[in-house]
C-alpha cells in the first residue's frame, strides 16, 4: 500500500499562511495527473473535500485554499488562515488501490 506521511500538528497565527505537507511512499502521479486529494475535518463533523487531483478546488471551497505538488510531494496551502480553518486536514491518494489516507495534520492556533 502507498503510505502517506503528514506532520501531526501545525501551529499558525490567524491571517498568516499555513502550508500542510503530504509525502507519499511512491509516486501518485500518472503523466500530468496527480492523484492526491485533500479533506478538512472539524471536530464532531464528517470530512469535507477541499482539493481533488492535487490542485483543483472543490465546489464551494474558498479560494484561500490551494493545492500543489506532483510525484511524491504535495502541499495544501491556506492563505490567509481564518479561525474557521482550525481543523484536521487529511491527504488521500488514488494512484493505487487501496486508496490510502495520511494520518492527518491538526492545524492549531499559535
Partner 1 sequence: EVQLVESGGGLVQPGASLKLSCVASGFTFSDYWMSWVRQTPGKTMEWIGDIKYDGSYTNYAPSLKNRFTISRDNAKSTLYLQMSNVRSEDTATYYCTRDGGSGYYSSHWFAYWGQGTLVTVSS
Binding site for partner 1 (CB under 8 A): 35, 37, 39, 45-49, 52-53, 58-59, 88, 90, 92, 94, 97-101, 103-104
Rounded CA-CA distance 43/35 in Å is 26
Report, in Å, the least distance between residue 70 CB and partner 1: 17
For the bound state, the minimum distance from the C-beta of residue 71 to partner 1, rounded and expressed in Å, comes to 18
The pairing of strands 65-70 and 105-109 is: unpaired
Q: Which is nearer to partner 1, 3 or 14 (CB)?
A: 3
Amino acid at each position: 500500500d502507498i503510505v502517506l506521511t503528514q506532520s501531526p500538528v501545525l501551529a499558525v497565527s490567524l491571517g498568516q499562511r499555513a502550508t500542510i505537507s503530504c509525502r507519499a511512499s511512491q509516486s501518485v502521479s500518472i503523466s500530468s495527473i496527480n492523484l492526491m486529494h485533500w479533506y478538512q475535518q472539524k471536530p464532531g463533523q464528517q470530512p469535507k473535500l477541499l482539493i481533488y487531483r492535487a490542485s483543483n478546488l472543490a465546489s464551494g471551497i474558498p479560494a484561500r485554499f490551494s493545492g500543489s505538488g506532483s510525484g511524491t510531494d504535495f502541499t495544501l496551502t491556506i492563505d490567509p488562515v481564518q479561525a474557521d480553518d482550525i481543523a484536521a486536514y487529511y491527504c488521500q491518494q488514488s494512484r493505487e488501490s487501496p486508496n490510502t489516507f495520511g494520518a492527518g495534520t491538526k492545524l492549531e492556533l499559535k
